Amino acid sequence: MFSGKKRVHREPEGHHAHHTRQHWSPAKIVSLLIFVILVFAAGVAVGRGNAKSAQATAGQLNYSSVNQVYSVLKKDFDGSLNQQKLTDGLKSGLVSAAADPYTEYFSPADAKVFNNELSGSITGIGAELGTNDQNEIVIISPLSGYPAEKAGLKPEDVVAAIDGKTTQGLSVDGAVSKIRGNPNTKVTLTIIRGAAKPFDVTITRQKITIPSVKYEEDGDIGYMKISQFTNDTVNLAQKGAQEFKSKNVKGVVLDLRGDPGGYLDAAVGVSSLWLDQGQTVVQERRGTTVVGSAAARGGNILKGLPTVVLIDGGSASASEITAGALHDNGIAQLVGVKSFGKGSVQQVENFSDGSELKVTIARWYTPDGKNIDKQGIAPDVTVTVSDQQAAAGQDPQKDKALQLVASKIQ
């Protein structure tokens, strides 16, 4: 049975569960995969009283060949076989064979932590992880004020190794589990940035408590910063909008830079602060077929206020959905640089033993039909921030956004 919650970006180091799954060699994965399929097939056969269920039918795995390989493993393996570990490892291997970094199996223990990843505090370096087109582990966004940012990590940095061990072939989840650790311990990342020579960065882990929404007034303009789309984001954003309204702000800057995403429902809720009820927030497609969409719910407290949305290379998933929704519905102008391009839809299926399967089921498109996944969203006004400007505490992107809103107010 499906959980009903769709996660539009669930690969953050800053919030990811501290998974304890072992990382098997290809040979072990194959062997273990055989075991779990055999156990499953045997269970089906016994339950149905059908001894012939070991033979594959159309669309099923060949249990006969599985049985042959497992027999060799059981006979020749030098060591003990723990059935629970084999079962969990097998399921992980089976799912990883789909070759999608966002499709993952979670054991019951892992699933408990996974479901808490968007709330509370974690211990890590404070960086959101993802993959690029080459399936390399990359930094999506270092979280403001935390060790990764202080160490100089940037969006799209490739994490080539963790503590000297290559990340080649490692899933995002696997990288997360290696980077996470106890507070005040160190982890060394080997970083590749563009064409520059790889370099090592050693970072001290710390407890990370991530704020979801911050807001303030800058004269007649309300400034709202959303760092991620969590369970409490809509409530906090609504409070900010109410404060803007009570203080008679005349325009809004919505800052989604460095926002790695979160829950679709939160993106819909935030977009609804501007949009009329029923206006499209995002389309869900499989291939070229639209299989669903999400619409604004009403309660648009900020309707009619001139709005500029800030985006950058660290804006991903739910933040891209929100930016695309406000832009395509004619509500907001986009300022900054092209967003990350994480537009795949993950849905979670819960199993009776407490384990879960997070599986990619579709792709997100903006209301105008623009593909978000691997494409990103381009700003209307491109403004970059140089290293020198950042070091000096300057923010030309925010300055430009405030300037544009002020011009609309006048």
Q: Which of 157, 173, 255, 328 is catalytic?
A: 328
76 is catalytic: no
- 117 by Cβ neighbours in 10 Å (0-12 / 13-18 / 19+) ranks as buried
SS3 state of residue 11: coil
Identify the residue whose tokens are 């804006």.
Answer: 315
DSSP letter at 303 equals T
Determine the Cα–Cα distance for residues 18 and 364; give it in Å rounded to an integer: 28
Amino acid, single-letter form, for residue 238 = Q
Q: Give φ, ψ of 313 to 5 degrees.
A: -65, -15
250 is catalytic: no
Determine the Cα–Cα distance for residues 314 and 96; give it in Å rounded to an integer: 26
Q: Which of 315, 317, 339, 344 is catalytic?
A: 317
Q: Which of 91, 178, 342, 398 is catalytic?
A: 342
328 is catalytic: yes
In 47-74, which positions are buried (b, 16+ CB within 10 angstroms) versus exposed (e)? eeeeeebbeeeeeeeebeebeebbeebe
Determine the Cα–Cα distance for residues 257 and 271; give it in Å rounded to an integer: 16
**Helix 26-48 / helix 83-96 crossing angle, nearest 10 deg:** 110
Structure tokens, 306: 């001139």
Identify the residue whose tokens are 């709330």.
Answer: 119
- 23 by Cβ neighbours in 10 Å (0-12 / 13-18 / 19+) ranks as middle
DSSP of 192-224: E-TTSPPEEEEEE-EEEE---EEEEEETTEEEE
- Catalytic residue positions, numbered: 317, 328, 342
